[in-house]
Amino acid sequence: MSINVEQAIIHAIIQDSDGQLSCRLRPQPLLNGEAVEAMLDELHQTYTTKAGKGFGHFGISGEDGEANPKFMEALTEYRDGQLGFVEFSGLAGKLLQEELSKYDFSQGGYLLLACYTHMTSDFLYVSLLNAKSSMTVLDDMELSQNTHLDLKDVQLAARIDLTEWQADEGSRKYISFIRGRAGRKVADFFLDFMGCVEGVNTKAQNKQLMNAVEDFVSSSELTKDEGQQCREKVFNYCTERCDVGADIEIKDLADELADSGMESFYDFAKGGDYELEDEFPGDKPTLRQLKKFSGTGGGVTLSFDGAHLGERVMYDPISDTIMIKGVPANLKDQLDRRLKGGQ
């Protein structure tokens, strides 16, 4: 196991036939240690590698006024030993029920709260899980319908880095959260119940990092191969950090590049107009643009490795055309068959 679970509990948010929500609280932590460890380990791994997460903190939103402080206050009392874990989780369950009751799209679910340690940091994982039905074949070959928690497609989840929260009062990224497919309004209620305000704009930071890398390559008069090597170095470093759930550190990245003879990236990135934080979370979809060009529009989708630009792929901005030398074999086969059919 990559984590050490300290406490975990599940409460049920139930919707009755009239659409009213109630919270059924479990009176004690989950007891099956092996099952809990396996579940949390799977959720931790899935969450850590989830792309497109947002980051925030407890605080005040400039547009929406003061964030609800009740969750933060209860969490503080738990960490200070004034509240037990069960009592803290029960308050959290009630807060979520109250927040959900404001919306007509809610159907309830299972609120999971778990405190665990990974590496040298303490985390609180908070998630609203859905239940799914499945069929099982019994020993006598009879079918039985069961209900299980859907751990593969979690859309409402957040993780609080308790160590960072208590060690760095100025941090704006100790809470991470999944940006659900259901839409911004649906995801917001989950942040509101915790009193979370979005802080670091991860996509913007990663985009600015890419801009800094491209400008650095241009201004350093690197050869094409050296420039591509620089992009590869940045991409590999950043994706490795993403894979283990660690932040991109500009100083650390600059040291990686300096080892390959590309000096002064730190001064270049921090001295320009990029407004880069010293540390920020990586965003894989944005970082892929360091290696690939891709785009979709007007019924055309095109993607190719950046190393091919100027060699196999020729772009003419004046005529707005791209010429590809060496058409991929499977595409060539489709095109040849279509031309023969047309003739």
Tokens of 263: 């000096």
Task: Convert the pLDDT of each residue in 96-131 to its tens digit.
Answer: 998 888 877 667 789 999 999 998 899 999 999 888
Residue of 66, 64, 82, 65 lying closest to 74 (CA atoms): 82
Task: Convert the pLDDT of each residue in 150-173 to its tens digit.
Answer: 888 888 899 999 999 999 888 889
Residues 6+ apart with CB under 8 A from 277: 200, 205, 250
Residue of 40, 73, 21, 17 lying closest to 189 (CA atoms): 21
Q: What is the pLDDT of residue 49?
A: 83
Task: Convert the pLDDT of each residue in 127-137 to its tens digit.
Answer: 998 888 778 88
Task: Convert the pLDDT of each residue in 235-277 to its tens digit.
Answer: 999 999 988 888 899 999 999 888 777 778 998 998 878 889 8
* Element spanning 236, H or E: helix 224-243
229: number of CA atoms within 13 Å, CB side? Answer: 12
pTM summary value: 0.77
Residue 181 pLDDT grade (very low, low, confident, very high; cuts 50, 70, 90):
low
Burial (0-12, 13-18, 19+ Cβ within 10 Å), 41? middle
Q: What is the pLDDT of residue 64?
A: 47
User: Domain locations in the chain?
Assistant: 4-198, 202-290, 292-342
